[in-house]
Amino acid sequence: MSSALKDVIELLKLETLDDSIFRGASHDIGSTRVFGGQIVGQALAAAQQTVSEAQTAHSLHAYFLRPGDVKRPVIYQVEASRDGRSYANRRVVAMQRGRPILNLAASFHLPEEGQSHQTSAPNVPGPEGLTDTFELHQSVKDQVPEKMQRLLAHRRPFEFRPVETPKFMDPTARTPQKHLWMRAWDTLADDPQLHQSLLAYVSDYELLGTATLPHELDFIQRTVQLASLDHALWFHRPFRVDEWLLYACDSPTSAGGRGFSRGQIFNQEGVLVASVAQEGVMRPWRERPNSS
């Protein structure tokens, strides 16, 4: 198994401190702050520890409150808000230094049959023949600021194969839509809760950047501040993250220093398995005047 994927799976194995209190390690992906997907994935994993294995998450809603410190573990406090016959709800608070860095609510459901419909998957090229994002990063690593080089050098736990040219390689304004194929580097166990936690982790990659597409922003020449404010994820149907998934993203609006992006996740058969929405800070970094 690839070391990057193994590291993330280990991150999702939380230490139990009490019936409703868990501790998770932090992981450096090339930034001084904890990756938001890590906190969301671990918070979901904490909530999963307090429901039955037969119940799987159907939605989660999270607010990022403070940046996390990669040098410190994270404490997760879970509150059982409701346990019904079909649905269960959990509230999770992620803590560092005694202060909350994320609030998350997750709802779980026992599987049942019902009416079904979905939108059609986009007609885009498949993953075969597309270049992985890591290779694209290496092609420009010598052109970016040193701070960004660490981020580009990070080995992701998933393969990412973008259909369109990434923004950092083409800063021109374009339609705020993008598509990329993703899958875990190796075959995983048949554990629906693990696949859901990993999808929660990986869904924070690439999404917010969609809101930058209609703007003339050169990530190599000028730093753009992007930071998640909230994250919502709905699980519609069973899936596996070790099989190719198409992440179809769009951004209907940006305003007030915030970008809003949506994502739909399809398997290779065109089945819609999950939907995502996120809003985040989006502002070009302004150099401070010389204090002297």
Q: Is 170 a catalytic residue?
A: no
Both tokens assigned to 104: 């998350």
**38, 204, 250, 275: the active-site residue:** 204
Both tokens assigned to 246: 């198409």
Tokens 């409701």 belong to residue: 82
Burial of 2 (0-12, 13-18, 19+ CB in 10 A): middle
Q: Is 225 a catalytic residue?
A: no
Assess contact for 51 and 108: CB atoms under 8 A: yes
CATH code for the domain of 250? 2.40.160.210
Q: Could you tell me if residue 123 is inside a domain?
A: no
Q: Could you tell me if residue 119 is inside a domain?
A: no
Q: Could you tell me if residue 142 is inside a domain?
A: yes
Question: What is the reported pTM?
Answer: 0.91
pLDDT tens readout for residues 32-58: 789 999 999 999 999 999 999 999 999
d(CA 41, CA 18): 19
Q: Could you tell me if residue 27 is inside a domain?
A: yes
Q: Could you tell me if residue 121 is inside a domain?
A: no
Digits of tens for pLDDT over the chain (292 positions)?
Answer: 788 899 999 999 999 999 999 999 998 877 778 999 999 999 999 999 999 999 999 999 999 999 999 999 999 999 999 999 999 999 999 999 999 999 999 999 999 999 999 999 999 999 999 999 888 877 666 666 666 666 666 678 999 999 999 887 888 899 999 999 999 999 999 999 999 999 999 999 999 999 999 998 766 665 678 899 999 999 999 999 999 999 999 999 999 999 999 999 999 999 999 999 999 999 876 554 343 3
Total domain count, the chain: 1
**193, 228, 254, 275: the active-site residue:** 228
d(CA 262, CA 195): 21
Q: In the Cβ-directed half-sphere of 110, how many Cα atoms lie within 13 Å?
A: 6
Q: Could you tell me if residue 118 is inside a domain?
A: no
The whole-angstrom distance between residue 239's C-alpha and the CA centroid of its chain comes to: 16
pLDDT tens readout for residues 64-119: 999 999 999 999 999 999 999 999 999 999 999 999 999 999 999 999 999 999 99
Q: Is 278 a catalytic residue?
A: yes
d(CA 188, CA 192): 10
- Beta strands 87-96 and 99-109 are antiparallel
Q: Could you tell me if residue 106 is inside a domain?
A: yes
Q: Could you tell me if residue 117 is inside a domain?
A: no
Look up the domain containing 29 and give its range: 3-110+130-284
Assess contact for 159 and 136: CB atoms under 8 A: no
